[in-house]
Amino acid sequence: MAKLFITGSMELCVARSMEDELFFSCVKDLLDHPEIQKLEDYFQHSRTTRLKHSLNVAYYSFKAARFLGWDHRSAARGAMLHDLFHYERKEAPISALRHLRVHPRMALENAERNFFLNEKERDIILKHMWLCTLKPPKYRESFLVSFVDKFCAVMETFCAGVI
Size of residue set near Fe ion by CB under 5 A: 2
- Window of 10-18, 29-37, 67-75, 79-87 that interacts with Fe ion by CB under 5 A: 79-87
Residue 7 vs 56, nearer CB to Fe ion:
56
Binding residue for Fe ion, selected from 83, 121, 123, 156, defined by CB under 5 A: 83
- Stretch of 4-12, 63-71, 82-90, 109-117 lying at the interface with Fe ion (CB under 5 A): 82-90
What DSSP state is assigned to residue 82? Answer: T
- The nearest distance, CB 66 to Fe ion, in angstroms, is 20
At closest approach, how far in Å is the CB of 50 from Fe ion? 8
CB 96 within 8 A of CB 142: no
Strands (DSSP E) contained in the chain are: 3-7, 10-15, 43-44, 48-49
Q: What angle do CA 103, 52, 148 make, to 5 degrees?
A: 65
- Give yes or no for residue 156 binding Fe ion (CB under 5 A): no
C-alpha torsion sign, points 90, 94, 98, 103: negative
Q: Which stretch binds Fe ion (CB under 5 A): 5-13, 14-22, 75-83, 155-163?
A: 75-83
Spatial separation of the C-alpha atoms in residues 34 and 132, rounded to whole Å: 29
Residues 6+ apart with CB under 8 A from 30: 36, 77, 80, 81, 115
Return the range that interacts with Fe ion (CB under 5 A); candidates 12-20, 29-37, 81-89, 111-119.
81-89
- Please list every residue from 133 through 152 that binds Fe ion, using CB under 5 A: 149
Residues at the interface with Fe ion (CB under 5 A): 83, 149
